[in-house]
Amino acid sequence: MAMLHTVNKSPFERNSLNSCLTKSKEGSTILLIEDAVLGALKGTVIADKLTTAMTTKNIYVLGSDLNTRGFTEADILDGIKVVDYSGFVDLVAEHANVQSWL
Amino acid sequence: MKFTLLINEGPYQHQASDTAYQFAKAAIAKGHEIYRVFFYNDGVNNATRLAIPPQDDRNITENWAALAKEHDLDMVVCIAAAQRRGMLDADEAERQGKDAHNIHPAFRISGLGQLVEGGIQSDRLLTFGD
Amino acid sequence: MSDDVKKFMFVNTKAPYGTVYALESLEVVLISAAFDQDVSLAFCDDGVFQITKNQNTEGSGMKNFSPAYKALGDYDINKLYVEKESLEERGLTLDNLMDLTYEDEDDDWAEKPSIKLVTRAELADLMDQQDVVISS
């Protein structure tokens, strides 16, 4: 089982998403929560980086945090999957361990 | 599956405690067990019984307390982090000669060993912080 | 090691003093030593600044907790992984870091370095092997 990584900070302000992307292994899963969901939007300066990451890693976003900030599934990059809290719990259970990039 | 949740930020300033609370509710709804919720760093401030949030906002401490009551959650506040920040329960206030205490009775004060033990006893330890 | 020993890794990514995370993480690490688990530390990103030499807090009035890292070896915590790329990005080398050592009981108590320089890819492998990862 691969590892689950959570990231909770906007990549436009903090470096934790970048750290996670460079220090996570191929086949691992990254879940964007809280302000990190803003990094999933289309047309941003990090869109290409995320699209490249998606070729080797699974990227998810917590839907309620997206909605909270005024966005929906339609606003995010193709290939990023949306989960609710129940799906968040499933991701934690399905992966061998979890690391929160703070 | 058993989860231990580590909460490292105080209420309102950061979303961490809210996220952990929603996660705990969802995990319980799916039949998982929350083995322990451990409050560390400024996370100890989630245990204050004296907060008065505006009426149209959520009451984070009371939400945790209600969830704990309903599901018999073990909510532990790190004693060292709490003392640093002026968070005391009644026993500790008496022992330290302080004239007030502010920890909600739904939470208990204990040592950092409870966090490590949570990591050992649980299938997953999940950190919510800044 | 018995089956009930878990691999704990404390991942330090933040600089010390500006926030309390480095100090309070170290407090958890020291407590964890009492539980006979397989404990390691990782220092990456700004976390590498936690173990620089010559920390002097006289002027800032803060508590200098850097000597506590030197005690880790006495607690049998002797796997301190430092990410090479993070050091280089910050213009640092191992010479900028404290001499953190332990005495190897399996080798006639020879004094050995606790710091292990690892690449980003090696650190990713190490993290992947853990049961519990606590980052700050």
- Confidence label for C1 from pLDDT (cuts 50, 70 and 90): very low
Residues of chain B with Cβ-Cβ distance to C37 below 8 Å are 116, 120
B5-17: burial string, b at 16+ Cβ within 10 Å, e else: bbbbbbbeebbbb
Q: What percent of chain C has pLDDT over 90?
A: 97
> Are B19 and A102 inside 8 Å of each other by CB?
no
Would the pLDDT of B59 be above 70? yes
Does residue C109 sit at the B interface (CB-CB below 8 Å)? no
Other chains touching C, judged by 3 or more CB pairs under 8 Å: A, B
Average pLDDT, chain A: 97
If we measure between CA atoms, which residue out of C24, A89, A86 comes closest to residue B130? C24
Backbone angles phi, psi at A82, to 5 degrees: -100, 135
Mean pLDDT of C64-83: 97
Q: What is the mean pLDDT of residues B122-127?
A: 98
Integer Cα distance of C94 and C48 in angstroms: 10
pLDDT in tens, B67-124: 999 999 999 999 999 999 999 999 999 999 999 999 999 999 999 999 999 999 999 9
pLDDT-based confidence at residue A1 (cuts at 50, 70, 90): confident
For chain C, the structural domain boundaries read 7-135
Range A3-101 has CATH code 1.10.357.10: no
Q: CA–CA separation, C133 vs C136, rounded Å?
A: 10
Domains of chain B, each with CATH number or no CATH: 2-128 (3.40.1260.10)
Tokens of C35: 């539980």
What CATH number is given for C7-135 in this structure? 3.40.1260.10
**φ, ψ for residue C58 (rounded to 5)?**
-55, -45
What residue ranges do the domains of chain A occupy? 3-101
Q: In this model, does residue C3 exceed pLDDT 80?
A: no
pLDDT at A32 over 70: yes
pLDDT tens digit sequence for C37-72:
999 999 999 999 999 999 999 999 999 999 999 999
* pLDDT of A52 above 60: yes
CB contacts of A23 in chain C (<8 Å) are 44, 83, 120, 123-124, 127
Beta bridge partners of C116: C81
Percent of chain B whose pLDDT exceeds 90: 100
> Torsions phi, psi of B35, nearest 5?
-70, -40
- Active site amino acids of B: 78
Which residue, among C132, C135, C136, would best test binding to B if mutated, counting the most B CBs under 10 Å from its CB? C132
Average pLDDT, chain C: 96
In three-state secondary structure terms, A35 is: helix
Among the partner-chain residues B80, B116, B127, the one whose CB lies closest to the CB of C35 is: B116
> In which band, very low, low, confident or very high, does the pLDDT at C96 lie, cut at 50, 70 and 90?
very high
